[in-house]
Amino acid sequence: MIVSTPSGDAESTSHSDTLESTLTASRAVLGVIARSLAPMMDTVTLPQFRVLVVLSNFGDLRVGQLAVHLGANQSSFSRFADRMVSGGLISRSTSPDNRREVIISLTKEGSRVYADVTAARRQEISRVLEHLSSGDLEAVQAGFEIFARAAGEPSTHETLILGI
């Protein structure tokens, strides 16, 4: 069956159904994220936490590289980073290779916040997964691995290789 999208393009029902299922799952995942961040809301916002995630996965990055990973404009990110620096979550330093480049790093506090929120998220996700059969667990794992890969997220295995 072919359905028309708002842009007038035709797409298969399968794609449309997958899109709707993915949106529903993303709301569920966002709920898990919100619950895991709730105890830290005075410390970190969701966009700030994303910065901590990227730095935890990729290590220290130039401002431009970090902005690309976040899908943000470099000049806008620079102002955003000011608040995170003053909050003690990240630090800025000059690149030893090029004094015009600014390197963004996680601080001990940023690493602690990342670890605490990630631990809370693991607990939340574990509670959800307890309701699934072994077959459903395998399907969820495969689906999320494929989705994460398509979104450009490094796998746990890849970050372990990097030593992060």
What residue spans define the domains of the chain?
A: 45-131
pLDDT tens, 14-38? 888 989 999 999 999 999 999 999 9
pLDDT tens, 146-155? 999 998 877 7
Could you give the angle at the alpha carbon of 134 between the alpha carbons of 159 and 146, nearest 5°?
40
Helix ranges (DSSP H) in the chain: 13-37, 46-58, 63-70, 74-86, 108-129, 134-151, 156-162
pTM: 0.76
Q: Quick one: fold of 45-131?
A: Arc Repressor Mutant, subunit A (1.10.10)
